[in-house]
Structure 1
């Protein structure tokens, strides 16, 4: 069941992922933030957003928080580690951060042992 959830998340990302430059031209700052968050990336700085265009920081942050909440679901952390995806600490400060990190590490250890 977990694998199905991870696959659904990946397919969703692939299906709706436009390039960041294209999204910036459209003014889709919330979507840029969401994509960064759901991929487990650390948030972009204000200056990094400004390099893309006239950024709306509030919209970016709203999208990022929504995306990072989905990424940091500890029920999927094992699969993320097992897939070989690095974890950069993007979930720190969230309620299930420790559980996420432990489950990711368990998956990462199994991935690394093959």
Structure 2
């Protein structure tokens, strides 16, 4: 269910749509909306978008109910598992929504570990790209000195990849 909500919100963000339609504004269970927003790590300030969109149709969101739901939802989001997931996807901004929540220390620990895992994976991918580029140059060059230098660079990158693969395997063990 949370995945569906996340995908819906992602689509809305991508296409620049209003946060809520007229019908949604009129029938919204604001506590449930807040719960869903909190559970996916959306900032509480998102309520301002609802206020703006719903004002166009004469509806005022129930801020107290929204906050009550959001408070419950954000507790579901600010967990070690979600910290790890957000980090491994490179989303460091999740730190801000959990900062004042109980369990923040554990969330941020796993967020940081996940971000390190993400950066290591990015470096592995960048090195793979560079190795393909160097191999292509090696395949086309005819000069012995250039070939020697390219082989040396490839060997250095191969050692670096070995080190990074070991590191990422160790980092993977940090997952909650």
Superposed counterparts of 1:61-100, under 5 Å? 61-86=67-92, 87-100=94-107
What is the CA-CA distance between 1:78 and the residue it aligns to? Answer: 1.6
**Structure 2: which 5+ residue stretches go unaligned?**
10-18, 55-59, 122-176
Is residue 2:91 matched to residue 1:104? no
**Partner SS state of residue 44, structure 1:** helix
Q: CA RMSD in A?
A: 2.3
Q: Taking structure 1 as reference, are residues 45 and 38 closer, same or farther at Cα in structure 2, changes over 3 Å only?
A: closer
TM-score calculated relative to the size of structure 2? 0.50
Q: Taking structure 1 as reference, are residues 46 and 106 closer, same or farther at Cα in structure 2, changes over 3 Å only?
A: closer
Q: Which residue of 1 aligns with 2:34?
A: 33
Superposed counterparts of 1:2-21, under 5 Å? 12-15=1-4, 20-21=19-20
What is the CA-CA distance between 1:62 and the residue it aligns to? Answer: 1.3
Instruction: Confirm or deny: 8 A CA contact 2:85 2:114 kept in the other structure.
Output: yes
Q: Taking structure 1 as reference, are residues 84 and 45 closer, same or farther at Cα in structure 2, changes over 3 Å only?
A: closer
Query: Paired residues, what number?
Result: 103
**For structure 1, which segment, 103-112 or 22-31, has the greater mean C-alpha deviation from structure 2 after superposition?**
22-31
What is the CA-CA distance between 1:66 and the residue it aligns to? Answer: 1.3
Q: Which has the higher helix share?
A: 2
**Structure 1: which 5+ residue stretches go unaligned?**
1-11
**Partner SS state of residue 101, structure 2:** coil
TM-score calculated relative to the size of structure 1? 0.73
Q: Work out which of the two has the higher radius of gyration on C-alpha atoms and give 1 or 2.
A: 2
